[in-house]
Amino acid sequence: MGIRVENLQKSYGTEEVLTGLDLDIPDGTFFSVVAPTGAGKTTLLRIMAGIESADGGTVYYDGRDMSTVAVQDRSVGMVYQEFVNYPSLTVRENLASPLEVSDKNYSRDEINQRVEETAKMLKIDHILNNLPEEVSGGEAQRTAISRALIKEPDYLFMDEPLANLDYKLREQLRSDFERLFSEQDTTVIYATPQAGDALAMSTHIGYLHEGKLIQDAPRDEIYFRPRSLPVAEYLGEPPMNLVTGTLVEDATERYFELRDGTRITAGSATGAFPALDAGHDYQIGFRPQDMVYLNGQDAAQAHGEDTVLNMDLAFVETVGSTSTLHLDYDGRELYALNAGPVHASPGAALSFSLDPEKLYIYDAESGDLIAAGNKIPSFTQK
């Protein structure tokens, strides 16, 4: 069944951190709680794990109310941002320590076997006789994760475990986590401010905003169908682009007119976005990877129903074969991804084509998703 949270509330003094939060985490999932730093992710994990108490609400494990169950009586493991290992013990002794104090009375042979198996699984079997100070940052974090996993907990809570690692180690551990936890029965609850970490590893993602999970869903669904602007603006690397446009309709065409006069095709009255109202302002979203760099082509060569957007280049980041273009459009920073280097100087005027069937349309006042292009994957709503 998994973990269910109902109407969770928590305040520190006058600061409300969790304000009636509801959440369901299915068994066997890798569930990431995503939000900016300070939004309450750590508090939520600590309450779910039983380390901290809530002011109100209930946490259930497999349908059982855990309000009176102490953390030591729960089948949980906890991994923190800091590398929490015993400095005077070897890696082998660190891994063995949870089993040695367990009330299950493991034999020495059982302990040794599980230490060896867990170390091999986490790729630290070659450092078992080292002290924590003698290993790398990634190996130290793998040791902390191994200590949490060796008891085979039902639920593993991980609070920003990659935050103190350099880029290369983060990338390696992200790949390792995805592989490792796809092979485990343990349900993982992972807190991170990094959208990329969540999108790379998770089976499910929840976005925490103003004390509540405003959307939680399988990874692909929440990415391709962000139901509100806070989710759309945060969940992506780079994030979704958003511009304001007014829907205009005349006898022959419908289009969104942007503040600089640019027109984005919206189709005929029976085509794309037929339910939208002419004369209304909307927030128009589009992904950086859906902007096609025209690379010096005449904008008039853009074909089909594509719209052409013209904007100034702020700067380019090129990683490997992919370039991220930071763009200035009407005073707002937008992003585009290009599969290859872009040789242009800051301030250069660039043109991009955009397929209107890949647009997201959000209500300008409520921020809710009200329409999406036909080329965007759809999912059954809860």
pLDDT of residue 321: 80
Q: Domains plus CATH for the chain?
A: 3-230 (3.40.50.300), 241-372 (2.40.50.140)
Percent of the chain with pLDDT strictly greater than 70? 95
Percent of the chain with pLDDT strictly greater than 90? 61
Q: Is 41 in contact with 47 (CB distance < 8 Å)?
A: no
Give 12 or 321, the one with higher predicted confidence.
12
CA-to-CA distance for 120 and 217, rounded, in angstroms? 33
CA-to-CA distance for 150 and 114, rounded, in angstroms? 7
Reply yes or no on whether the pLDDT at 208 is more than 70.
yes
CA dihedral over 134, 137, 141, 146, signed as positive or negative: negative
Ranges 23-37, 57-71, 159-173, 300-314: which has the least confidence: 300-314
Q: How many CB atoms lie under 10 A from the CB of residue 32?
A: 28
For residue 171, name the pLDDT band (cuts at 50, 70, 90). Answer: confident
For residue 234, name the pLDDT band (cuts at 50, 70, 90). Answer: very high
| Residue written as token pair 């669904």 | 221
pLDDT of residue 169: 73
CA-to-CA distance for 46 and 58, rounded, in angstroms? 13
For 356-362, what is the mean pLDDT? 92
CA-to-CA distance for 7 and 58, rounded, in angstroms? 7
Residue from 129, 130, 93, 131 nearest 112 by CA: 93
Partner residues linked to 5 by β-bridges:
23, 59
CA dihedral defined by 145, 148, 150, 156, rounded to 10 degrees? -100
Q: What Rg do the C-alpha atoms of the chain give, in angstroms?
A: 25
Exposed (0-12), middle (13-18) or buried (19+): which is 285, by Cβ within 10 Å? Answer: buried
pLDDT of residue 174: 79
Reply yes or no on whether the pLDDT at 206 is more than 80.
yes
86-103: per-residue pLDDT in tens? 899 999 999 999 999 888
For 47-69, what is the mean pLDDT? 96
Both tokens assigned to 182: 């796809």
For 21-44, what is the mean pLDDT? 95
Reply yes or no on whether the pLDDT at 303 is more than 50.
no
Reply yes or no on whether the pLDDT at 376 is more than 50.
yes
Give 142 or 208, the one with higher predicted confidence.
208
pLDDT of residue 380: 65
pLDDT of residue 267: 65
Strand arrangement of the beta sheet that strand 3-12 belongs to: 15-25, 3-12, 56-61, 64-65
pLDDT of residue 306: 60
Phi and psi at 223, nearest 5°, equal: -75, -50
Q: How many CB atoms lie under 10 A from the CB of residue 40?
A: 25
Q: What is the pTM of this model?
A: 0.89
- Mean pLDDT, the chain, rounded, equals 89
Work out whether strand 349-354 and strand 291-293 pair parallel, antiparallel, or are unpaired: antiparallel
Ranges 243-247, 304-308, 333-337: which has the least confidence: 304-308
DSSP state of 277: P
| Residue written as token pair 């936890």 | 181
Give 168 or 6, the one with higher predicted confidence.
6
pLDDT of residue 21: 97
Q: What is 77-129 written as a DSSP string?
A: EEE-SS----TTS-HHHHHHHHHHT-TT---HHHHHHHHHHHHHHTT-GGGTT
